[in-house]
């Protein structure tokens, strides 16, 4: 393997990883911290992509589209939490699985009805469509670089928010014992709604960024959801730091698996990785609760 | 009355293919006054989502419950192969208007199976022939990992005599090709031959351009990688790319001129080969049912299908002994038309009255 | 069991009659298609029951149950393929279509796979367990995708259905239906018996409070593995039946969405009741069939419907039945 | 300061409280005593709004708490040391305390003075504490909200005798500083020493109330309702 | 007191990071005695029980039960040998009836849980002994009540019945009186007293009334170390113990209510 190829693949792995992290951070918050198994997280990814695609068509500005989609999914997530999901926090995980599975079906069909069954393919503006030579002789697509940077920024922000800020403490406390945190004077209801919305919006952001790279289509969130689940489980459910490392790990091993292994075996890489890690550490790499 | 079961991929990244096929077929039906061979037509539509198992379920339902006369519409070879058994076992006609898996052309050929489009190997065979003649030394091959992908690259290699420096089968419907592109850059081939239909093609072409490879290694593909389901979404990144095909939107014959004009008028876009073969399929059925009188006498209908003549948008068309087409193949280049839209422009003839490689192994 | 005629008994009797009468009725209406559909439902009922054994009783939420279904189906498919091609499996074993061989073998293979997977996964808990079973199922999925010799991604058509003796031909839809029905009743009944046995008690205890089970001296690990194996084997049988019903096997049978649907069937029906999940399977497939006939966008109805069911019927459909006093 | 009148509450189908009356004046220390399962904790939950009262009035500092959500009740200035400690297992000792702390007399430093053991275990996760350490943490956490009224539900449970007397001492000190306290405990003698007034709860009703002197004398009452 | 101890911990060490929770501990529990373990909060009592019961592996040291080394044995194996614990926080099967709770423990003791066919709910070999045990702890009338709906004190009694059903030779009781009112506590103390002699018990309790009225031997743990072992009166008189643990609560006024 040449050094250029290696470097390029590392970047590819990072790009996939940071993308996954945008998904995983939101899911691990909702999943591990708020104790809600939200399979519909993939739907937020999809909605983000569709919102962005539509806004992009209307305005022609990628920044506007991304911002609009972020806000759109934020609102959608909060609305969903207020209307339905908040009453599922105390329910059994399986109930949550079933309810959010229902949401997947709903959203997929909704998108099919509103936007049609065929996929959308977005073209990037000329400025982002090319590549730059980070290392001379090894060009790399600008857009993918942007994804990497955006992902890393969000990662840092989230880490600070959750593990350093008082808000983070309250969220974690509320996750383990809602009643108690309320009895101590915290309006956990609103806090959870906001956190849920934020998680959804991050997924939406991931979808927005994936749109021009891949395709905007019905069900695009489903397979991403599974990979995201793999990530947060490897990282340790509820741990943002774990989700970050696991995202990069999964991104890199998937990319290199694809290069070094035959096609179907390559698809297995991340699952083998997960099984091995869980075998050695049944709570993931960074178990959030002792 | 004629009942047609139309199974196709209507959703997902490949959903455009189903739409193209359906639109082409419907256009023909409209031109034929809603009738095939004078009989009223009911079309029952089913979305296989590109998945063989769903295709099988749909086909069984159509054959058993709806009792259709003909199953058609299928765009993916893997779905077609899976659907073939329940349909053909019940002695229902299976008319392919796109997919052409080698198995059904060869050892698994069947009296009730007809392919009015192409056998998968043929279009790439033409490109193999062309690149060999052009003197290309090394080539890198990519296709999705499913029967048509295998057939396509197999066909290419049958006529390409240079060196294959890489042959990659990616997961079906894989959206991201970053890893493969990095490897192409490393391999430095003279040319890349890729078969990625529909949404896969769009993603591949876009990412190929973004990665900066476009100026370095020229791309070649079968028409399905560069047709009208792909070009509008890809834009200028595709200009100058060569493909081989048995049909293009610019094909110069009377039937095709009418077809392309009607299609554009009806749907506001240029048709793709899928629409073209679907259109032909309807005309074939019309002619055959007319000749056989009805769909009730299956033997008569089969005879009619084998021999009947119809106005193909491809010009010359006839069936080989294995019910697969004998037709011409040409080279095209992606250019811009006067309105600035991307189109495939005729460059040269590669094969005339070309037959597939499997007809000899077919014993019916 | 019921001494006087309880609403439950009446319900049961009606159900039995309806099940037995289905094929002749469908045939007389000229709709043989529905016999096939009913067989399919029974197969999934069996699969859902097997999942309920570990999920509803043992608290082991297996998100890869479809893998066992798929393995069972592939045993039938692969042996049938070799029988049709007259080739040898691994260069030594001849193929066969005999159900006497393939069905038990399907159970054995699926059971053995469940055993191995169980050994590794039951060490983990909760969501981790869910995910590790998913991981193994995905591996199985991609493994069969890799097997290009058996069609890979594209699946394998069965040349013919399993054969037993000249007396029963599964080719006949009604016969196949009755065979499936018999299997579902026998195995389902067996599972019910198991859940009431000492072994079943241990399973429930594990779900209720595993730590406590350890401290009354029960090495829970081996019981969980055993239950997992048993459930896998039964799912394997369901897989064998499914292969016969569809005449087609493909990796799609083990896709994670399939596993998800199985879980949905179990919860919908009411977990920890065996009969509930069986009903859940039937209701789910019926909904799919009915709604999809009604509108192309049937999932927009099914989705919210599922949410409503979880919201209002905490014990699933089974919980809505008139109840005997809880017999736990 | 806190006034409870005719409070009725329960869980789902079963009613637990059948008209509880309770009054706590400013700077007063009031105890609730009674056998297991008589409704002491439920009364506290109903005051906090964790359990929704079915009937009756609860007011705090002349403000009605009726149907206020728990967090608003808490913000009115009620600090709770709940039964069963209810430590946040996934927060460290220090985080457990600062997460809900408000500015006031009680600071982290003072709590550490009170429970040096907590300082030693400062970075431990909540669920990695011994039972008694968790109890200290629960008290510290409530103090740090600087409440006007401190409610302690079995706060000395599981504490070693030494610490237990430490807590009693601490409560006496708080009392001297004018802190209002509602305390539930099974150690009647200590309560008599500390409390101004006492309420005996029996089957969801207040069956007796009086000051320490009265309670000391009422041996029959104690025998009947408390079994001691 | 017989010469041979039933349980011996030798040089047991357990650390959590920098914290030494069990510090080179030696402990002997003799057959038939009630041995109380007391000490300040966080002294490492529960940690010790966890090690004895097999939940936590010690860093070093050995645990001998009836002469056999069980340091590496897993929980069920220890239970089978007769080393059984109860929990500081009630741990039962809340959805099961009281009877089933105990029957489950009887079944565990009987071994043979790999029985897939015969119904367990009506098996007299399980139900009869379970019923007898419920009667013994005074819960006979509540046999059919779901355990989760029982009063707290009753749940504690049930917990002990379950422990007894496994026919322990040594019972490890971690704060069995926790959260209990005076009356219930007295009932449990009575129950434990009635078990004296037939079972060996290692008792952890902060309720000094209970400890001094029940224990034959008391060991005091401070910072993971046993600072004293002896008869109750010796311990009460020990100034070091008073200073580290008892404080003024050993004051006679408190004790007189026992
Ligand atoms: N979450 C609950 N659901 C249903 N019933 C409950 C619940 N919590 C308590 N109860 C019942 O309410 C009654 C009163 O309980 P409560 O906890 O208020 O008693 P208490 O006086 O605090 O007793 P203790 O001294 O044991 O703490 C009891 O009979 C109990 O069984
Ligand atoms: N898993 C753990 N990780 C880190 N520290 C722990 C862990 N478990 C216990 N500790 C610490 O070890 C010490 C001993 O704890 P242990 O629970 O054994 O105390 P104890 O003697 O039972 O106290 P109490 O009487 O309060 O229940 C405590 O300081 C506790 O914080
Ligand atoms: Mg209480
Ligand atoms: Mg302890």
Q: Which residues contact C82 (CB under 8 A, 6 or more apart)?
A: C88, C89, C93, C94, C95, C96
What span, in angstroms and rounded, lies between the C-alpha atoms of C231 and B334? 57
CATH of domain D1-75+191-228: 3.40.50.300
D40 phi/psi in degrees, rounded to 5: -65, -50
Separation in Å, CA of E15 to nearest CA in chain D: 12
Residue E97: which domain range? 93-167
pLDDT in tens, A48-102: 999 999 999 898 888 899 999 999 999 999 999 999 888 888 888 888 888 898 8
How many domains, in total, are found in chain E?
2
pLDDT at D115: 87
B92-106, B185-199, C92-106, range with the lowest pLDDT:
C92-106
**A175 pLDDT more than 90:** no
Q: Average pLDDT in the C17-41 region? A: 87
- E96 and C204 within 8 Å at the Cβ level: the answer is yes
pLDDT score of B22: 94
How far apart CA B355 and CA D105 sit, in angstroms, is 94
CA distance D67 to D75: 14
E201-225 mean pLDDT: 91
* Per-residue pLDDT tens over the stretch B172-182: 888 889 888 88
How many independent structural domains does chain A possess?
1
pLDDT at B112: 92
pLDDT surpasses 90 at B362: no
At residue D162, the pLDDT reads 83
CB E222 within 8 A of CB E39: yes
Residue by residue, DSSP assigns E112-178 as: -----SSBSTT-HHHHHHHHHHHHHTT-GGGTTSBGGGS-HHHHHHHHHHHHHHT--SEEEEE-TTT
E88 lies in a domain? Answer: no
Residue nearest to atom 2 of ligand 2 (CA): D128
Most confident region among C20-29, C63-72, C81-90 by mean pLDDT: C63-72
CA B80, distance to chain mean position in Å, is: 12
Q: Which residues contact E49 (CB under 8 A, 6 or more apart)?
A: E85, E172, E174, E202, E204
Q: What percent of chain C has pLDDT over 70?
A: 96
Please report the pLDDT score of residue E116 as a whole number.
Answer: 73
What domain range includes position A42?
A: 3-280
Q: Which of these ranges, B105-114, C64-73, C88-97, C270-279, has the smallest mean pLDDT?
A: C88-97
Q: E138, E167, E196 — which closes off a domain? A: E167
- The yes-or-no verdict on residue C327 having pLDDT over 70 is no
Chain A hits for D75, Cβ within 8 Å: 185
User: Which atom of ligand 1 is the closest one to the Cα of D45?
Assistant: 18
Across chain E, mean pLDDT equals 85
Ligand 2 pocket: which residues have CB below 6 Å?
D 121, 124, 128-133; E 16, 19, 21, 39, 41-47
Does residue A290 carry a pLDDT above 50? Answer: no
Hey, what are D147's tokens? 């409440």
pLDDT beyond 50 at E156:
yes
Contacts of B182 in chain A (CB under 8 A): 5, 8-9, 12, 259
Evaluate the CA torsion angle E93, E99, E105, E110 in order and state its sign: negative
- Would you state the pLDDT for residue E159? 87
CA A98 to chain centre: 21
pLDDT tens-digit series, residues C161-193 = 888 877 777 788 888 999 999 999 999 999 999
pLDDT digit string, tens, across residues C206-241: 998 898 888 888 899 999 999 999 999 999 999 999
For residue E116, give how far its alpha carbon lies from the nearest alpha carbon of chain D (Å). Answer: 38
Pick the residue whose CA is nearest to atom 7 on ligand 1. D11
Indicate whether B80 pLDDT > 50. yes
| pTM for the model | 0.86
Distance CA E205, CA E214 (A): 11
| A98 vs A108: CA distance, rounded Å | 16
Nearest to A5 among B145, B182, B207 (CB): B182
**D114 close to D72: Cβ distance less than 8 angstroms:** no
Residues 237-256 of A with CB under 8 A from B: 255
What is the predicted pLDDT for the residue at C323? 55
pLDDT digits (tens, 9 = 90+) for C122-143: 988 888 888 889 888 988 998 8
Residue E249 has pLDDT above 50, yes or no: no
How high does pLDDT run on average in chain B?
90
Judging contacts by C-beta atoms under 8 Å, the chain C residues touching residue B146 are: 152-154
The CATH number of the domain holding residue A116 is 1.10.3470
E183/D136 CB distance under 8 A: no
Whole-number Å distance between alpha carbons of D80 and D67:
18
Residue E87: inside a domain: no
pLDDT < 50 positions in chain D: none
Average pLDDT over residues C273-289: 89
Q: What pLDDT score was predicted for residue A266?
A: 80
User: E89 to each of B158, E83, E162, how far by Cα in Å?
Assistant: 75, 19, 15
Q: For residue C6, how many other CB atoms are within 10 A of its CB?
A: 13
Of E175, E183, E208, the CB nearest to D158: E175
Facing E107 at nearest CB: one of C196, C201, C215: C201
**B218 neighbors A229 (Cβ within 8 angstroms):** no
Question: Which A-chain residues 100-159 have CB contacts (< 8 A) with chain B?
Answer: 112, 117-119, 121, 123-124, 129-131, 139-144
Touch between chain E and chain A: 3 or more Cβ pairs under 8 Å? no
* Of residues A101, A113, A265, nearest to C146 (C-beta): A265
Residues B78, C248: C-beta atoms closer than 8 Å:
no
Residue in chain C closest to B46 (alpha carbons) equals: C296
Domain annotation covers residue A288: no
Taking the domains of chain D in order of start, what are their residue ranges?
1-75+191-228
Q: Does the pLDDT value for residue E111 go beyond 80?
A: no
- Nearest CA-CA distance, residue C304 and chain B, Å: 22
Which pLDDT tens digit goes with each residue over D88-118? 988 999 999 999 999 988 999 999 988 888 9
> Over chain C, what is the mean pLDDT?
86
Ligand 1-lining residues (CB < 6 angstroms): D 11, 16, 34, 36-42, 83; E 152, 181
pLDDT of residue D137: 93
Q: Domain boundary residue among E150, E167, E184?
A: E167
Nearest atom of ligand 2 to the alpha carbon of E17 = 4
Rounded average pLDDT over B188-192: 93
Ligand nearest to the CA of E179: 1
Strands, DSSP E only, in B48-137? 70-72, 93-96, 113-115
Burial of E61 (0-12, 13-18, 19+ CB in 10 A): middle
**What pLDDT score does C190 carry?**
93
pLDDT band at E127 (very low <50, low <70, confident <90, very high): confident
| Tens-digit pLDDT profile for residues B208-240 | 988 888 888 999 999 999 999 889 888 888 888
Please state the ipTM of this predicted complex.
0.84
* H-helix or E-strand spanning residue E85: strand E83-85
Return the pLDDT at C112.
Answer: 96
**Nearest residue in chain B measured CA to CA from A217:** B12
Residue found by looking up tokens 């506590």 in the block? E185
- Please tell me the predicted confidence (pLDDT) of residue D130: 85
* Predicted pLDDT at C4: 61
**Taking a C-beta distance cutoff of 8 angstroms, is the pair C154, B81 a contact?**
yes
Buried b or exposed e, range A152-172, using 16+ CB within 10 angstroms: bebbeebbebbeeeeebbbbb
Question: Of the ranges A113-127, B19-33, B136-150, which one carries the lowest mean pLDDT score?
Answer: A113-127
Report the pLDDT value the prediction gives residue E252, as an integer from 0 to 100: 38
Q: Compute the average pLDDT of residues B310-328.
A: 89
CA of A28 to the centre of ligand 2 (A): 29
Residue A289, pLDDT score? 54
Is residue A178 scored above 90 in pLDDT?
no
Say if the Cβ atoms of B82 and C248 lie within 8 Å. Answer: yes
The pLDDT of residue E237 is above 80: yes
Burial of D116 (0-12, 13-18, 19+ CB in 10 A): exposed
Q: Which residues pair with C197 in a beta bridge?
A: E119
Tokens standing for B131? 């690149």
The residues in A 21-80 lying below 8 A from B, measured between CB atoms, are: none
Contact B56 C152 (CB under 8 A): no
**pLDDT digits over A188-234, tens only?**
889 889 989 999 999 999 999 988 888 888 888 888 898 998 998 89
Pairwise CA distance, residues B363 & C21, whole Å: 45
The pLDDT, as a whole number, for residue A1 is: 59
Residue carrying the six token digits 């039946």: C241
Q: Alpha helix locations (H) across A33-187?
A: 41-59, 62-83, 93-115, 126-129, 142-159, 166-176, 178-183
d(CA C215, CA A152) in angstroms, rounded, equals: 47
Across the range A248-262, mean pLDDT stands at 88
- At residue A288 the predicted structure's pLDDT band, cuts being 50, 70 and 90, is low
From the CB of residue C28, how many other CB atoms can be counted at a distance below 10 Å? 8
Question: What is the distance in A from the centroid of ligand 3 to the CA of C207?
Answer: 28
Instruction: Point out the residue among D130, D159, D186 whose CB comes nearest to the CB of E181.
Output: D186
Q: Are residues E163 and E173 in the same domain?
A: no
D159–chain E Cβ distance below 8 A for any pair:
yes
User: Given this model, what pLDDT does residue C243 score?
Assistant: 93
Q: With 80 as the cut, is the pLDDT of residue A138 above it?
A: no
* Residue A53 covered by a domain: yes
- Report chain C residues whose CB lies below 8 A from the CB of E74: 219
Q: Whose CA is nearest to atom 11 of ligand 2?
A: D129
Give dist(CA D118, CA D166) in Å, integer: 14
Domain annotation covers residue E45: yes
């Amino acid at each position: 393997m040449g050094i250029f190829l290696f470097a390029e693949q590392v970047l590819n792995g990072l790009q996939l990883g940071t993308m996954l992290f945008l998904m995983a951070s939101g899911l691990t918050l909702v999943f591990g911290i708020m104790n809600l198994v939200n399979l519909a997280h993939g739907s937020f990814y999809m909605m983000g992509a569709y919102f962005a695609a539509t806004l992009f068509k209307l305005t022609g500005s990628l920044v506007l589209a991304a911002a609009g989609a972020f806000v759109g999914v934020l609102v959608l997530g909060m609305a969903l939490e207020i209307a339905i999901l908040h009453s599922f926090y105390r329910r059994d995980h399986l109930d949550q699985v079933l309810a959010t599975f229902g949401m997947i079906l709903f959203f997929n069909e909704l998108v099919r009805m509103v936007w049609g069954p065929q996929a959308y393919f977005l073209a990037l503006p000329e400025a982002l469509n090319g590549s730059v030579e980070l290392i001379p002789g090894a060009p790399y697509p600008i857009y993918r670089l942007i994804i990497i940077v955006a992902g890393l920024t969000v990662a840092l922000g989230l880490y600070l928010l959750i593990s350093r800020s008082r808000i983070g403490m309250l969220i974690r406390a509320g996750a383990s014992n809602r009643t108690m945190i309320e009895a101590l004077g915290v309006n956990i209801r609103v806090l959870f709604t906001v956190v849920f919305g934020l998680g959804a919006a991050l997924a939406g952001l991931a979808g927005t960024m994936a749109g021009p790279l891949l395709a905007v289509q019905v069900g695009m969130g489903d397979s991403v959801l599974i990979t995201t689940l793999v990530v947060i489980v490897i990282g340790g459910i509820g741990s943002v730091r774990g989700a970050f490392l696991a995202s990069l790990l999964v991104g890199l091993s998937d990319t290199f698996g694809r290069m070094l292994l035959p096609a179907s075996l390559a698809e297995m890489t991340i699952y083998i990785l997960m099984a091995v890690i869980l075998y050695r550490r049944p709570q993931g790499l960074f178990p959030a609760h002792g | 009355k004629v009942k047609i079961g139309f199974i196709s991929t209507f959703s997902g990244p490949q959903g455009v293919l189903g739409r193209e096929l359906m639109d082409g077929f419907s256009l023909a039906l409209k031109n034929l006054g809603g009738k095939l061979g004078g009989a009223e037509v009911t079309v029952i539509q089913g979305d296989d989502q590109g998945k063989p198992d769903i295709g099988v379920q749909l086909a069984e339902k159509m054959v058993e419950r709806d009792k259709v006369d003909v199953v058609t519409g299928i765009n993916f070879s893997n779905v077609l192969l899976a659907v073939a058994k329940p349909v053909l076992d019940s002695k229902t006609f299976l008319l392919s208007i796109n997919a052409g898996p080698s198995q059904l052309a060869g050892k698994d050929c069947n009296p009730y199976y007809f392919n009015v489009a192409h056998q998968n190997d043929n279009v790439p065979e033409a490109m193999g022939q062309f690149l060999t003649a052009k003197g290309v030394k090394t080539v890198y091959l990519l296709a999705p990992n499913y029967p048509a992908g295998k057939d396509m690259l197999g066909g290419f290699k049958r006529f390409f005599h240079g060196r294959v420096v890489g042959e990659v089968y990616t997961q079906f419907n894989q959206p991201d090709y970053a890893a493969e592109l990095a490897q192409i850059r490393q391999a430095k081939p003279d040319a890349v031959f890729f078969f990625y239909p529909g949404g896969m093609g769009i993603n591949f072409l876009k990412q190929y351009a973004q990665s900066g490879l476009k100026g370095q290694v020229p791309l070649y593909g079968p028409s399905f990688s560069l047709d009208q389901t792909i070009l509008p979404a890809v834009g200028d990144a595709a200009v100058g790319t060569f493909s081989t095909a048995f049909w293009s939107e610019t094909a110069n014959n009377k039937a095709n001129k009418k077809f392309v004009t009607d299609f554009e008028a009806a749907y506001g876009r240029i048709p793709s080969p899928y629409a073209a073969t679907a259109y032909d399929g309807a005309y074939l059925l019309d002619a055959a049912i007319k000749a056989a009188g009805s769909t009730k006498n299956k033997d008569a209908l089969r005879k009619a299908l084998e021999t009947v003549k119809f106005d193909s948008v491809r010009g010359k068309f006839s069936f080989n002994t294995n019910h697969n087409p004998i037709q011409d193949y040409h080279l095209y280049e992606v250019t811009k038309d006067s309105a600035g839209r991307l189109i495939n422009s005729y460059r040269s003839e590669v094969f005339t009255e070309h037959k597939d490689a499997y007809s000899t192994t077919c014993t019916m | 069991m019921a001494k006087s005629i309880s609403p439950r008994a009446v319900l049961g009797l009606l159900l039995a009659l309806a099940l037995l009468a289905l094929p002749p009725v469908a045939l007389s209406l000229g709709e043989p298609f529905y016999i096939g559909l009913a067989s399919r439902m029974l197969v999934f009922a069996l699969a859902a029951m097997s999942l309920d054994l570990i999920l509803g009783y043992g608290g082991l939420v297996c998100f890869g149950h479809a893998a066992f279904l798929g393995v069972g189906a592939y045993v039938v498919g692969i042996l049938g393929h070799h029988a049709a091609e007259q080739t040898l499996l691994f260069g030594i074993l001849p193929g066969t279509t005999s159900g006497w061989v393939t069905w038990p073998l399907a159970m054995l293979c699926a059971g053995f796979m469940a055993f191995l997977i169980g050994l590794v996964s039951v060490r983990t808990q909760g969501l981790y367990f869910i995910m590790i079973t998913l991981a193994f199922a995905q591996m199985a999925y991609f493994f069969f995708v890799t097997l290009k010799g058996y069609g890979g991604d594209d699946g394998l058509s069965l040349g013919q259905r399993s054969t037993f003796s000249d007396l029963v031909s599964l080719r006949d839809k009604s016969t196949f239906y009755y065979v499936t029905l018999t299997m579902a009743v026998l195995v389902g009944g067996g599972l019910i018996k198991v859940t009431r046995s000492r072994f079943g008690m241990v399973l429930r205890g594990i779900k209720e409070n595993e730590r406590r089970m350890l401290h009354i001296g029960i090495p829970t690990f081996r019981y969980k593995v055993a239950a997992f194996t048993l459930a896998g084997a039964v799912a394997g049988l369901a897989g064998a039946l499914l292969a016969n019903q569809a005449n087609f096997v493909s990796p799609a049978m083990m896709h994670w969405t399939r596993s998800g649907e199985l879980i949905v069937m179990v919860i919908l029906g009411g977990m920890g009741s065996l009969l509930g999940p069986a009903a859940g399977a039937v209701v789910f497939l019926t909904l799919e069939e009915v709604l999809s006939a009604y509108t192309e966008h049937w999932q927009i109805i099914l989705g919210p419907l599922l949410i409503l069911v979880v919201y209002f019927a905490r014990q699933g459909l089974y919980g809505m039945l008139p109840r005997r006093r809880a017999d736990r | 300061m806190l006034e409870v009148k005719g409070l009725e509450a329960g869980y789902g189908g079963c009613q637990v409280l059948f008209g509880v009356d309770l009054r706590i004046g400013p700077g007063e220390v009031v105890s609730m005593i009674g056998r297991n399962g008589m409704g002491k904790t439920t009364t506290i939950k109903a005051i906090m709004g964790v359990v929704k009262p079915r009937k009756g009035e609860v007011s705090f500092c002349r403000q009605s708490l009726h149907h206020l959500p728990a967090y608003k009740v808490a913000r009115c200035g009620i600090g709770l040391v709940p039964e069963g400690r209810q430590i946040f297992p996934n927060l460290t000792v220090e985080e457990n305390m600062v997460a809900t702390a408000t500015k006031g007399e009680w600071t982290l430093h003072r709590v550490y003075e009170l429970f040096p053991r907590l300082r030693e275990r400062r970075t431990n996760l909540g669920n990695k504490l011994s039972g008694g350490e968790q109890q200290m943490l629960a008290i510290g956490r409530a103090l740090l909200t600087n409440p006007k009224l401190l409610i302690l539900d079995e706060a000395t449970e599981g504490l070693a005798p030494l610490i237990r007397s430490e807590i009693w001492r601490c409560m006496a000190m708080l009392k001297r500083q004018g802190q209002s306290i509602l305390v539930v405990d099974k150690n009647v003698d200590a309560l008599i020493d500390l409390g101004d007034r006492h309420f005996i709860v029996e089957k969801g009703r207040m069956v007796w109330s009086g000051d320490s002197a009265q309670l000391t004398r009422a041996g029959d009452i104690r025998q009947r309702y408390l079994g001691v | 007191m017989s010469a041979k101890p039933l349980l011996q911990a030798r040089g047991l060490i357990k650390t959590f990071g920098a914290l030494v929770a069990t510090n080179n501990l030696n402990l002997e529990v003799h057959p038939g005695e009630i041995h109380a373990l007391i000490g300040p909060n966080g002294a490492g009592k529960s940690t010790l029980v966890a090690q004895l019961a097999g939940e936590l592996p010690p860093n070093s040291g050995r645990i001998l039960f009836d002469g056999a080394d069980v340091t590496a044995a897993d929980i069920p194996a220890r239970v089978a040998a007769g080393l059984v614990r109860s929990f500081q926080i009630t741990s039962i099967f809340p959805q099961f009836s009281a009877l089933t709770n105990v029957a489950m423990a009887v079944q565990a003791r009987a071994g043979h849980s790999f029985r897939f066919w015969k119904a367990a709910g009506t098996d007299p070999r399980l139900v009869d002994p379970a019923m007898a045990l419920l009667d013994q702890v005074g819960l006979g009338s509540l046999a059919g009540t779901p355990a989760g709906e029982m009063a707290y004190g009753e749940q504690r009694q049930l917990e002990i019945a379950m422990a007894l059903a496994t026919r322990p030779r040594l019972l490890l009781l971690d704060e069995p009186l926790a959260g209990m009112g005076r009356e219930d506590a007295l009932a449990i103390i009575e129950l434990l007293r009635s078990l004296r002699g037939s079972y060996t018990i290692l008792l952890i309790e902060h309720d000094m009334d209970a400890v001094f009225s029940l224990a034959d031997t008391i060991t005091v743990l401070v910072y993971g170390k046993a600072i004293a072992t002896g008869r109750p009166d010796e311990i009460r008189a020990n100034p070091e113990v008073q200073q580290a643990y008892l404080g003024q609560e050993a004051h006679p006024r408190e004790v007189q209510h026992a």
